[in-house]
Amino acid sequence: MKIQRISEADILLSALYLKISDDKHQLRKVSYKKLFSLIFIDDFREQEDKLLALLPENDIYKIQGVINTRKRQRYIDEQAVLRLINVIKVGALDHYVNYHVIRSERFKEDIYLALGKVNESALNKNNKRYGKSDDVYNFIIESVLKESESFLSRSEVETLAEEVKERFDTRRSSVGDFEIIRSSIYSNVEIKSDSIFTDEKINSKNGYTPLSIFWGTNRANSYYTEGLYFTNERNNSVGRSEQLRVGRSLVTVPNLHKKGEIERPEKWWKFWKNKTENVNQHIVIHTIELMDKDKWKLSLLQESTEKEGLLFIHGYNCSFDDAIYRAAQLKFDLKFPGLTFCFSWASKAQIESYTVDEATIDWSATHLEEFIDLITEKLKLSKLHIIAHSMGNRALVDVIKQWDGRQDKVHTVVFAAPDVDSDKMKNTSSYFNAFENVTLYSSINDIPVNISTAVHKYQRAGNSTPPLVMEHADTIDVSKIKKPLFSLGHSYFAEAYEVFNDLYYLINEKVPALKRNGITYKDDWKCFVLS
């Protein structure tokens, strides 16, 4: 149908009005971002066609009804229309601003004012207020738009978006911002990456120890009330060169931490347990800072004079936060003094998404290679130790083949519970002589890897019977290590004391396998056994 209007903004404003006031239409399924994008279409007919493509005809009639109602209004706040359109322009260009605008009650109020106070009874029907979002909205209005008598240009909108983020986005990427955040959390306690395990003043004063985790990810990001977070979707809406992003997170580990555990608030169904995050009881992520690569490198160089690094690559069914928790726990329990890195590929973090994760880990190999090259070539590390878990080993194996012996900064490679075809792993072993040590941990009691074997109909490197033995690698069978009750026996590399104790001497002390505590050599298998 052809939409009759009284101004160029009528379609958009009427659609937004329906979206916030009426549940019975398809607009509920159309994102604010898509609606906001209409504001940059100058041609009204094209704008109309875009909306017609998004909605059924019945909803178009509803929009026309709102426009007709507006025509009959005696008073319309034209200033509200002006500021609303300008705010929408900023939200259309910037995801962070968009997120806060649509949560602001001021935004909803201005929609009603711009439409001549149509149906005031719907106003504030949801009285949940988000203070930060209202502050963002008010900042846009009061700082820039109050004196504006015309619609903002695109360049003005872009400048405004930057001003908003500079003021409100506490997780923005700069070394200076990080130091401000860090000092505010730790009350000016000096924090050094290379001394956190020996400085008892930090532990006794605060009840927790701060750690920096430097990360790379190919996940898409979004925003919530407190700032940036990474989703379980691929960052595939941008060009190949922009898919890998880097940054760092400030994480604290409580003094009450038990080795091998990741202390987090209990699940909702454990009603008798504490569900509130507590810095003195839980491993807590305080900041997620997205950085450009130059600032990231500068931040790393300022953090530590240590010349060794530790990289953790997670497995299937793992969120971004879960990967950071694990990387922090490994750094703390292994007492690793150098820089710690985490590569968080875009796992769906769902048990039922195994095949999706399989496709994504294949897609992630080039990003992992880029991340490792960034660490080893730009930061002048003398040694990098890599721990890959479960499905994460697939990307690492592919990268090792691509290196073809060219990567001389990698010292230790640990394949922990690898969910990798054993024949593929064995065919890659000819490249292992480029590293000082390659260790494979395997267990026949690893339930997820056993299930993977059943699914693929071929043995996996993480549970072969007898264990997979390869040239230039130490295979350590950990089947004798007792797993906790209800455990799947898959995260033993970080949870079982015997295994991460073995990792400590392997990575920190560079002790050969036969000289490490608890290891024996099994002649008929031609591999090592840890018990």
* pLDDT tens-digit readout, 207-258: 889 999 999 999 998 876 557 889 999 999 888 889 999 999 999 999 999 9
pLDDT of 143 above 70: no
275 vs 418, residue with greater confidence: 418
Among candidates 425, 434, 384, which has minimal Cα distance to 404?
A: 434
**Residue reference for tokens 């201005």:** 110
For residue 195, pLDDT over 50 is answered with no
Which pLDDT belongs to residue 441?
A: 97
CA-CA distance, 9 to 81, in Å (whole number)? 8
Q: Output the pLDDT for position 196.
A: 31
Nearest CA to 214 among 266, 178, 167, 262? 178
The lowest-confidence range among 184-188, 297-301, 328-332 is 184-188
Q: What confidence tens digit (pLDDT) does each residue in 109-140 have? A: 888 877 775 444 444 444 445 577 788 888 88
| Helices of type H across 207-243 | none
Average predicted confidence (pLDDT) for the chain: 81
The mean pLDDT value for 60-87 works out to 75
Residues 248/212, Cβ–Cβ less than 8 Å: yes
pLDDT at 74: 57
The 10s digit of each residue's pLDDT in 320-340 is: 999 999 999 999 999 999 999
Tens of pLDDT, residue by residue over 4-39, are 555 657 778 888 888 877 655 566 667 787 888 888
Say how many residues make up the chain: 531
CA distance 331 to 209: 11
pLDDT at 515: 93
Instruction: Compute the average pLDDT of residues 495-512.
Output: 93
**Range with the lowest mean pLDDT among 74-88, 215-229, 345-359?**
74-88
For residue 239, how many C-alpha atoms fall within 13 Å in the half-sphere facing its CB? 1
Over pLDDT 90: what percentage of the chain?
Answer: 43
Number of helices (H) and strands (E), helices first, in the chain? Answer: 19, 13
Distances (CA, A) of 45 to 3, 11, 42, 245, 434: 9, 11, 9, 39, 63
Q: Which pLDDT does position 24 carry in this prediction?
A: 55
> What are the phi and psi torsion angles at 8 (to 5°)?
-65, -25
- Give the list of residues 6+ apart from residue 466 with CB closer than 8 angstroms, or none: 524, 525, 527
Q: Tell me, what's the pLDDT at 420?
A: 98
Query: Is the entire prediction scored with pTM above 0.75?
Result: no
Residue ranges covered by each domain of the chain: 10-168
Q: How far apart are CA 212 and CA 337, in angstroms?
A: 11
Per-residue pLDDT of 368-422, as tens digits, reads 999 999 998 877 788 999 999 999 999 999 999 999 777 788 999 999 999 999 9
Q: How far apart are the first and last CA of the chain?
A: 75
